[in-house]
A = this chain, B = another copy of it.
Amino acid sequence: MRIGELARRAGVSTRALRYYEQQGLLPARRSTNGYREYEESDLKLVTEIRSLLTVGFTLEDARPFVECLRSGHGSGGACPESVEVYRRKITEIDDQIRTLLERRAEVAAQLAEACPGCALRTGGTR
């Protein structure tokens, strides 16, 4: 299939697909007129990339998953490199959550100080 069809079926822009190719995540063979030609299996690659991006992965994070799929695995997360990325991302997310919790407490405290009686719902004022 060509880039337009893959884009439609994957729910992404053609620009995104070209960008993935540029980043080495989605190589495509070319037909004689220079058009990119994709396999059915490429749809799965794009789907994998998309689902990883939506949970906060970068394209670089997604690379091991794509390579894992292309190496024949049914799941992109089955390879040890992917598992390592999973672990790292989880600790990153945990760090971010911790930071946000600290910030929330700090901001809520400043609010309480600047405007006593301005209690928020979530703050635990009961």
Q: Enumerate chain A interface residues (CB-CB to B < 8 A).
A: 55-56, 75-78, 82-83, 86-87, 89-90, 93-94, 96-97, 100-101, 103-104, 106-108, 110-111, 113-115, 118, 120, 122
Task: Give me 20 other A-B pairs in contact (C-beta within 8 A), A77-B114, A94-B104 excluded.
Answer: A55-B106, A56-B100, A75-B114, A77-B115, A78-B115, A83-B111, A83-B114, A83-B115, A86-B110, A86-B115, A87-B111, A87-B118, A87-B120, A89-B107, A90-B120, A90-B122, A93-B100, A93-B103, A93-B107, A97-B104
Copies of this protein in the complex:
2
Contact present for B77 and A110 (CB under 8 Å): yes
Instruction: Please tell me which one of the listed residues B75, B82, B100, B113 contacts residue A97 in the complex, with CB atoms under 8 A apart.
Output: B100
